[in-house]
Structure 1
Amino acid sequence: MRKILISALALLSAYGCGPKPSSPAAPAYLIYVTNERSGDVSIIDPETRREVGRMAIGKRPRGLVISPDKRFLYVAVSGSPIGGPGVDESALPPPDKAADGIVVINLASRQVVKTLRGVSDPEQIAISPDGERLYVASEDSGKLLVISRGGEILSEIAVGGEPEGLSVSPKGDTILATSEEEHTVSILRGQPLAAVARVEVGARPRNAVFVNDTKAVVPGENDASLSVVDLAAAKRLRTIALPKSDRPMGVVKWDDHTILVTTGRGGRLVRVDLDASGESVVASAAVGPRPWGLAVSPDRKLAVTANGSSNDITLVDPVTFKVLGHIAVGKGPWGVAAG
């Protein structure tokens, strides 16, 4: 009887009727990287540490944000030519305004659903906790745009020349918008949303992060500073000086007392103790040339930097600050999100 059973199982297996091996489990999350110079988004599996997809989406993709329900990825694309410090902008070609917009990607199908138009030269994006409103920094207009999920522009608010960094409070009642040109951060509240204060910070602020409901940190790229801002009093509490070789750009809250910061030309990721009376940098990892974008994985086991000059990302253990590996992506990686 046993021989008959074994023979039957072998026959079933030979004709593909036997038990099939289970498919590999899908990763708990993915990493998305905007590649400014190649005009695409890289999709990374953090478990296999491989690029598992790449989507061409338009010119100069930079800022990106994942919707709270994890269904959509919003990416800012711009037809303005690449400039920056030291570049003679009068010699650049004219901007292609038809290329400006916010690309909406369905993460399940990895397909572009639509592109939201009507925003000029968008650079960074933030989203409300309920996913109903997008906040977009329009770099060449000097405005913060509030856009509905469906694409309707709800309001336009002046926040200073060359706005870039955006951050939304956990409750969604306060928005921060930095001005590279005027070295300020605007604090916006209310319905309708309005700027209630503007605080002077470091030189060329390109990001901001909430530490709690009443305190934020704003990196100053050009003077290697971190400005700690009291949001209730609308004033700078203190300035943390990093080494002059650093160019702080990306910033993420780690806990109520520390933040993670990418240092651009400094080539490293650092952890900064905001309450330290002495040395504020308590951990550092060399990650590669010009790390800008920064994200922490949902399980808090990885910090990811986008390294613009080496066309790769770096994975770092955010507790030990050990570099875990590098993954090649497209050209000019700029922003990164994990979810």
Structure 2
Amino acid sequence: MTHIKFALLVPIALLAGCGHSGPSYHVYISNESSGDVTIIDPVRMEALSTVPIGKRARGIHPSVDGKLIFIALSGSPLAPPGVDESTLPPPDKSADGIGVFDIAQNKLLRKLPGGSDPEQFAVGRDGALYISNEDAAGVSFVDPVKGEVLHTIPTGEEPEGVTVSPDGKLVYATSEEAGTVTVIDIATAKAVKTIKVGRRPRNVTFLPDGSRAFVTNENDGTVSVIDTGTMEATHTVLLGAGLKPMGQAMSRDGSRLYISTGRGKQVVILEPATEKILAAFEVGQRPWGIALSPDEKLLFTANGPSNDVSVVDVATHAILKKIKVGERPWGVLVLGQ
């Protein structure tokens, strides 16, 4: 039986040993409802600034050289599951795109085309962007230098999670509606396989060696395990009743997989080697985005309804602090200075 350990908020005085030297990295949070990005100092554990970016800021990733940050922006209205979309206002397609944020200048430089209603995306080794377009039921290939959409490959309705394989050759993209993962060959820009997984798949994360991929299935409370050699989902891992697996963060050595569980309020730690649940602990209201610090001693989760980010001690699972950010924080990016 898995023992559930709930994190406790510890006094800030205990953080005095952290010192006040400049951080070696910053944490960037995309805020969906307020349309901005909050920059966090992880040493002081406080927000440094919040910069306007554009409507519905969600997916967030760095450029290959680490000098820019890309943020998915969308003018489509918020449409939670079960909502009657005929009652929603029309989408503002002029707001769709990929925002380009300059880290040194701390400002938005421009907006790239990103297809219709971009949500999540991945950055290839050559800097190309692979973007899920919910309205278009596909993944767009975008050249960020030319600012052009090169291809859009069908993936099934409501594509979301997009991840490039560790060897840089394939894109794995989830379809929430179809309950599938589409595998796209980057060189040919063609789908080579559609893999059936669970209901409402949200995110794909690979082991560092690329041998297996893990897919969070929100509506099943499970993680599908894909053998990337055969491109087949071999089995699923049940996380627990009431858990809604969403985002994932893999340790560098592949020994730990941290999974946010949305309405379940918890982070679950899965050991990929044994596929056993090592721990589960509460972090906040509906955690989605999740990331580890470079030394893997801290874990950051974006908690949408409470407009804050939890900073968690990985060793003890204690919440060190909850940092107020923008409205409905969505994505978390940890990036070295």
Mark yes or no: TM-score above 0.5: yes
1:205 matches 2:180: no
1:248 matches 2:241: no
RMSD: 1.4
CA distance in 2, matches of 1:257, 1:174: 23
CA distance in 1, matches of 2:148, 2:230: 33
Deviations 1:257-292 (A, max 9, x none): 431100001101110123437xx2212221011000
Which residue number corresponds to residue 230 of structure 1? 227
Alignment-mate amino acid for residue 274 of structure 1: P
Which residue number corresponds to residue 259 of structure 1? 257
CA distance in 2, matches of 1:180, 1:136: 15
Deviations 1:20-53 (A, max 9, x none): xxxx754211101111111111110000111001
Alignment-mate amino acid for residue 202 of structure 2: R
The residue matched to 1:47 in structure 2 has which SS? Answer: coil
8 Å CA contact retained: 2:214, 2:224: yes
Unaligned runs of 5+ residues in structure 2 are: 1-19
Flag the structure with larger Rg. Answer: 1
Which residue number corresponds to residue 13 of structure 2? none
CA distance in 2, matches of 1:29, 1:251: 20
1:45 matches 2:25: no
Alignment-mate amino acid for residue 228 of structure 1: V
CA distance in 2, matches of 1:297, 1:118: 29
Aligned partner (choices 120, 138, 160) of residue 143 of structure 1: 138
CA distance in 1, matches of 2:314, 2:142: 34
Q: Name the count of aligned residue pairs.
A: 313
1:216 matches 2:213: yes
Deviations 1:241-272 (A, max 9, x none): 11121000001212434311000011011101
Offset at 1:190?
A: 4.4
Offset at 1:237?
A: 1.3
Aligned residues with identical type, % of pairs: 43
CA distance in 2, matches of 1:270, 1:324: 18
Offset at 1:302?
A: 1.4
The residue matched to 1:38 in structure 2 has which SS? Answer: coil
The residue matched to 1:37 in structure 2 has which SS? Answer: coil
Runs of 4+ in structure 1 displaced over 6 angstroms?
none
Offset at 1:87?
A: 1.0
CA distance in 2, matches of 1:26, 1:146: 37
8 Å CA contact retained: 2:31, 2:38: yes
Offset at 1:101?
A: 0.5
8 Å CA contact retained: 1:136, 1:145: yes
* Alignment TM-score, normalising by the size of structure 1: 0.89
Aligned partner (choices 158, 180, 183) of residue 187 of structure 1: 183
8 Å CA contact retained: 2:120, 2:161: yes
CA distance in 1, matches of 2:95, 2:69: 18
Offset at 1:316?
A: 1.3
CA distance change for structure 1 residues 173 and 326 in 2, over 3 Å: closer, same or farther? same
The structure, 1 or 2, with the larger RCO (C-alpha pairs under 8 Å, 6+ apart) is 2
Alignment-mate amino acid for residue 148 of structure 1: D
CA distance in 1, matches of 2:157, 2:285: 28
8 Å CA contact retained: 1:36, 1:332: yes
Alignment-mate amino acid for residue 218 of structure 2: E
Offset at 1:220?
A: 0.2
